[in-house]
Amino acid sequence: MRTTTDVPVRKNDEVTLDIIGLTQDGEGVGRADGFTLFVQGALPGERIKAKVLKVKKQYGYAKMLELLQASPDRVEAPCPIYRQCGGCQLQHMDYAAQLAWKRQHVIDSLTRIGKLRVADVAGEGVVVHPTIGMAEPWRYRNKAQVPIGMALADMADGAAGSLIGGFYARGSHRIIDMDACFIQHERNDEAVRLVKALGTRLGIRAYDETTGRGLLRHVVVRTGFATGETMVCLVTNGTRIPRVDELVEGIRRALPDVRSIVQNVNTRNTNVIFGDETRVLWGSDVIHDELDGIRFAISARSFYQVNPAQTVALYRKAVEYAGLTGRETVIDAYCGIGTISLFLARRAGKVYGVESVPEAVEDARRNAALNGIANASFEVGLAEEVIPRWREAGVAADVIVVDPPRKGCDAQLLDTIVRMRPKRVVYVSCNPATLARDLAVLEAGGFRTVEVQPVDMFPHTGHVECVVLLVRK
């Protein structure tokens, strides 16, 4: 077995690499005497000089020192802090090339992990369509989750000091302070800048995760693209915010579109952003947005897709794959606040949604009522527990839609889908690797993967969303 002592490179070695691919995190993949090195900022087809930073048994990491031969897909990243910030990974890659790479990433996962055959020129196998991209792939995010810290000088001298806020540097929890993010809605940027300035003036201290002291952990801002409504959520390490009335008044005065100012309390020593308690400081507990004619109420902790334009493209494709005629019974696993469920309900006979987060189910029920949709019902619980109970109660699904988190579907849920034998399964995925794994299980259980539509929900990052049609064999 290879050890770190017999690999062909050592830490601090300088090597010349030909970049042959990209990882799912957007790192270039190079080889040095057959040994794999990952290099941030390198693109396929490039030759670079690099310095080895870290060596493990099977692979290592290196830093690009010099670009010897550039890829034709290389472009200048417009963001001034792109090289330091960990928010984006692919701003240095032409957008058309990003879309092509994301499709290939899906294909590679399907073939290597799922052992599926992808359609070739003869047309046999799973059809993987070209990635649906955006005409304008900037300023697309409706939600900002920004960690807050203190300027280093202020931390050292113990003064009240100034707040900073921005995404973490790559591979660390060091905050890169920013005034603007090129993939955020401008109003999100404005709100974050405002809270930093107001908090600094009012003497509010940022939370320090190493000591567990300080108050303000994150600023979370949501903007309804269709309605223009804004929510500002302050995530705090404790319930009391000093001079809170002045803070709220300052936000209201500077942001005329703000409809909700809330506080979420998280006193745990954790990387999880939200705690369990959310309280309204001013205004409503929700804001509203609209997708394809359906209106949604969105609370602070609701899961709501961050790219509205691409969400419509994704969900329209999901409805198309469901093949609804108006009579079908549909189950929506991991239904969240009912976004896909309500899209489906306009074409289905009955939709059952299940979600483990109680607040999300409350939002889903409220959203159904908000739109006058009476043929969708929602239940709190784990999909792998609730859906088998529905099956025992006699619910026979014609179509099952799943939109799981990155870890994919629970094994028990996949088993339930196989046992329920719906005519169609529509799988919405944010992780091609776990998608491919689950498709292999469903294929073995009697389903055939027909086609896959990648959708670029997160331009300039390594993430790709997919919607997949499976039919019962």
Who contacts 118 (Cβ-Cβ below 8 Å, separation ≥6)?
Answer: 107, 110, 111, 125, 126, 127, 128
Whether residues 365 and 395 fall in one domain? yes
Final residue before a domain boundary, out of 235, 256, 291: 291
pLDDT band at 155 (very low <50, low <70, confident <90, very high): low
pLDDT in the model for residue 239: 96
pLDDT band at 171 (very low <50, low <70, confident <90, very high): confident
* Alpha carbons 295 and 308: distance in angstroms, whole number: 12
pLDDT in the model for residue 123: 72
Three-state DSSP state, 307 = coil
Q: What is the mean pLDDT of residues 21-31?
A: 93
Whether residues 424 and 342 fall in one domain? yes
* Alpha carbons 107 and 105: distance in angstroms, whole number: 5
Final residue before a domain boundary, out of 51, 69, 87: 69
**Number of structural domains the chain divides into:** 3
The residue annotated as part of the active site, out of 88, 335, 430, 466, is 430
**pLDDT tens, position by position, 227-276:** 999 999 999 999 999 999 999 999 999 999 999 999 999 999 998 999 99
* Percent of the chain clearing pLDDT 70 (strictly above): 97
pLDDT in the model for residue 176: 93
Tokens 């005497």, residue located = 33
**pLDDT tens, position by position, 289-336:** 999 999 999 999 888 999 999 999 999 999 999 999 999 999 999 999
* Alpha carbons 273 and 373: distance in angstroms, whole number: 33
**pLDDT tens, position by position, 345-404:** 999 999 999 999 888 899 999 999 999 999 999 999 999 899 999 999 999 999 999 999
Query: 312 exposed, middle or buried (CB, 10 Å; 0-12, 13-18, 19+)?
Result: middle
| Contact (CB, 8 A) for 213 and 276 | no
Average pLDDT across the chain, whole number: 94
Whether residues 285 and 317 fall in one domain? no
Whether residues 207 and 242 fall in one domain? yes
Whether residues 314 and 455 fall in one domain? yes
Q: Which of 365, 367, 391 is nearest to 379 (CA)?
A: 365
Whether residues 319 and 425 fall in one domain? yes
pTM: 0.92
* Alpha carbons 11 and 27: distance in angstroms, whole number: 18
Q: Is residue 101 part of a domain?
A: no
79 is catalytic: no
Q: What is the mean pLDDT of residues 173-198?
A: 96
Whether residues 158 and 257 fall in one domain? yes
Say if residue 158's pLDDT is above 60.
Answer: no
**pLDDT tens, position by position, 54-108:** 999 999 999 999 999 999 999 999 999 999 998 999 999 999 999 999 999 999 9
| Contact (CB, 8 A) for 186 and 230 | no
For 364, the token pair is: 């889903």
Whether residues 277 and 171 fall in one domain? yes
430's enclosing H/E stretch is none
Q: Is residue 176 part of a domain?
A: yes
pLDDT in the model for residue 322: 98
Q: What is the DSSP string of 267-297?
A: -SSSS-S--SEEEEEEE-SEEEEEETTEEEE
Can you give the residue range of the structural domain that contains 252?
Answer: 143-291
Q: Is residue 234 part of a domain?
A: yes
Whether residues 216 and 152 fall in one domain? yes
**pLDDT tens, position by position, 106-135:** 999 999 999 999 997 667 899 999 999 999
Whether residues 429 and 347 fall in one domain? yes
Q: What is the mean pLDDT of residues 202-227?
A: 96
Whether residues 213 and 326 fall in one domain? no
For 231, the token pair is: 């929510």
Q: What is the dihedral of CA 52, 56, 60, 62, to 10 degrees?
A: -30
Backbone angle region of 406, left / alpha / beta, with phi > 0 → left and psi within -120 to 50 → alpha: alpha
Please report how many Cα atoms fall inside a 13 Å half-sphere around the Cα of residue 146, on the Cβ side.
35
Whether residues 332 and 439 fall in one domain? yes
